[in-house]
Amino acid sequence: MKYFSNVPFLNSDGKIMLNAIDIRKLLKTSSEAKNLKFGKTIHAHLIISNQITRDRVIERNSLINLYSKCGETSTARYLFDKMPKRNVVSWGSIMAGYLQHGYSSEVIELCRNMINVDKLCPNKYILATVLSCCSNCRLFDEGRQCHGYAFKSGLIFHQYVKNALVYMYSMCSDVEGAFWVLNSPPKSDICSYNSVLNGLLDQDDMMEALYTLRKMVADCEFEEWDGITCVNVLRVCARFKDLRSGKQAHSRILKRGLDSDLFVGSSMVDMYGKCGEILSMRKVFDVLQTKNVVTWTAILAAYLRNECFEEALKLFLEMDHENVEPNEYTFAVLLNSCAGMSVLGYGNSLHARVEKVGMKDYTVVGNALIHMISKCGLVEDADMIFKNMLNRDVVSWNLIISGFSYHGLGGESRDVFHRMLAAKQQPNYITFVGLLSACGVDEGFYYLNHMMREFGVEPGLEHYTCIIGLLGRSGRLDEAENFMKSSPIKWDVVAWRTLLNACHIHRDYKLGKRVSDILLQMYPNDVGTCILMSNMHAKSKRWDKVVAVRKLMRERNLKKEPGLSWTEIRNDTHVFVSDDNEHVESDLIHEKVKKLMSEIKLLGYVPDFISELHDVEEEQKEDYLRYHSEKLAIAYALMKTPPRAPIRVFKNLRMCEDCHSATKFISKVTKRTIIVRDVNRFHSFREGRCSCADYW
């Protein structure tokens, strides 16, 4: 606003003295600074001094520009409609204002009126404005008409118009059209490449984006790069998890001094996060001078993506301390982090905050609530959230279908799927992964071979792995093996381990040996396979084989992940390991476990010693089994919750067979519902039975 102090406002009589040039400069400066109050003062002076006459089009255009840029589009439109005489700049000013505030359809209509009513031809700026509206609203036909006009009028040779055309074709998914314009004269500049890259990235057309990026590097000097270029380059690196190129881009950003740009900084955080470089990501974040909600949400999402759930929740406390208000995406990330840790108390507090700030009706927040509540063992409550959602998308349906399936409620899962079809929601790849897990064998093959193709979903590895699981659960192990051998699918460790687990449960040790050999040939250092093999040999009392497997693990320095179980009591999470003595109430917990074991033995519980080393005394084996982490967590939850209240326990590994058997008896003797989530699924124990039907 430097110009304001340089204008001699008053003449010798004390009256305001402004000539036409002064007025135009003042209105322009007010518009650029978005100082509406000062602009209105100038407007009032023009009215009082009767300086707005029929031929003062420039001043009227300046006023339209002022009100448009300051957000008063209705006032700008009133002034525009009252103009006795309009020129191309008048039309351009009102259109630019409408575009700035998202009124794209009005811009298209104004352009038609300009041509048909005032008989004026759009200039390059108006044409670029209209093309931007076509891009925003994906109006491909109107965009092509603009292209035709640009070609006919010669405006296509203006760089401004060319860049707008490139972006329009990219956003309308016409890659061929975008490249045709990109390769046409005049020579493409960095803005041309920014436009096509933006469009391709928004359409997730990554291969074309990569090709365009390489072409841009060849055609444009590094000194031409701007903030938008850097954001696009980082987005490509993040999408391909190309850390090497991402670091090179980071180096260039530092050389150009663009690291202080807020959007560039957020993109660097996102790139390092998607490449799994957590320390580098945090370093970039910490040195950013300016952070907004987008930056904070980017790093929280990166922590979530890398399963650093606790770090995400801790960082949110810093965000709160900085008084940065979370948006709907922030809440979604936080709720999904709570799901990853199964911390219902913290999740409920976030739920209350979402309700308080009025964000519960955002679909992305509703989906995160379904995920969090379901992962905390309350699938019925998750279903209530789902039913009360105002707007559901395919993710909402997928989450509740998978939630029921994960809890062993196959019938409910299939019912939701059929409600999904009745609601005219198109299922996708993920939908059928959740659905197939909830089926029997014949039903699973029906969905795989008929319904998926009916909806145009090509079956993939995850779907075929579900079929292996269905065959294994029903004991049809030979069919499962033949299915895997005859299929052209390239099976991964999850698929083969699914079959190996079925061999373990159904005690088909011959097939188990063949499967484990395949697994160890493919993945020699897979700890999970070695542990399953050891347990299978123990079941068949082939102790020499057990010793051999454990020797193999020692030689390869393969270590079993320590088993952890935890339960949440009054918003505090209590974590246990086997034979835990670190808890402040460990003596009382151990006494509670002993009492429970005595009570369930009277009901017929027999400790399962088979998986323990054969050269350990029976009494030692029983002591070892008695204080497994899940038993300690269950005992503590029973001590700290009201009678008949359900309890929830979570474990990072597969629940062992002895603990599974004991928990069935504990649910009966205590008349409690005990929900245990292990690495495979939810187990809901009620009256001596488990929802998994002893298959997990």
SS (H, E, C) 206-219: HHHHHHHHHHHHHH
**Which helix (H) or strand (E) segment is 576 a member of?**
strand 572-576
List the 674-677 sheet strands across, edge first: 572-576, 565-569, 647-651, 674-677, 682-686, 689-690
Q: Which of 446, 323, 71 is nearest to 432 (CA)?
A: 446
Judge whether 648 and 377 are in contact, CB under 8 Å: yes
The CA distances from residue 451 to 257, 425, 432, 484, 488, in Å, are 54, 14, 9, 21, 21
* Segments of the chain with pLDDT less than 50: 1-5, 7-8, 10-12, 14, 614
Longest dimension (CA), the chain: 113
The CA distances from residue 16 to 22, 35, 46, in Å, are 12, 20, 11
Alpha-carbon span 181 to 464, nearest angstrom = 44
* Beta-sheet pairing, 674-677 with 647-651: parallel
The CA distances from residue 658 to 414, 536, 576, 695, in Å, are 32, 15, 17, 14
Alpha-carbon span 456 to 398, nearest angstrom = 17
Judge whether 101 and 132 are in contact, CB under 8 Å: no
Judge whether 230 and 262 are in contact, CB under 8 Å: no
Token pair for 480: 């499962």
Alpha-carbon span 178 to 567, nearest angstrom = 56
**Per-position DSSP letters for 194-260, written without gaps between them:** HHHHHHHHHTT-HHHHHHHHHHHHHHS-GGG--HHHHHHHHHHHHHHT-HHHHHHHHHHHHHHT-TT
Alpha-carbon span 369 to 355, nearest angstrom = 11
Alpha-carbon span 332 to 399, nearest angstrom = 14
Q: Is the peptide bond before 646 cis (omega within 30 degrees of 0)?
A: no
Token pair for 644: 């008949």
The CA distances from residue 312 to 235, 293, 320, 651, in Å, are 22, 14, 12, 21
What is the pLDDT, as a whole number, of residue 56?
75
Q: Which of 171, 168, 136 is nearest to 150 (CA)?
A: 168
* Beta-sheet pairing, 565-569 with 647-651: antiparallel
DSSP single-letter state for residue 572: E
Token pair for 627: 């204080």
Q: Is the peptide bond before 186 cis (omega within 30 degrees of 0)?
A: yes
Alpha-carbon span 337 to 307, nearest angstrom = 8
pTM attached to this predicted model: 0.78
* Beta-sheet pairing, 689-690 with 647-651: unpaired
Judge whether 91 and 114 are in contact, CB under 8 Å: yes
What is the pLDDT, as a whole number, of residue 610?
65
Alpha-carbon span 634 to 7, nearest angstrom = 80
Residues in the chain: 696
Q: One-letter amino acid identity for 205?
A: D
Q: Tokens 């905390």 sit at which residue?
A: 376
The CA distances from residue 544 to 16, 501, 541, in Å, are 105, 21, 9
What is the pLDDT, as a whole number, of residue 641?
94
Judge whether 176 and 208 are in contact, CB under 8 Å: no
Instruction: Please count the other Cβ atoms lying within 10 Å of the Cβ belonging to residue 433.
Output: 18
Alpha-carbon span 598 to 387, nearest angstrom = 44
Token pair for 658: 């002895």
Question: Mind listing the pLDDT tens digit for each residue in 147-166?
Answer: 988 888 888 888 889 988 98
DSSP bridge partners of 609: none
Cβ neighbourhood burial of 622 (10 Å; 0-12, 13-18, 19+): middle
Judge whether 364 and 332 are in contact, CB under 8 Å: yes
Instruction: Please count the other Cβ atoms lying within 10 Å of the Cβ belonging to residue 32.
Output: 12
What is the pLDDT, as a whole number, of residue 14?
47
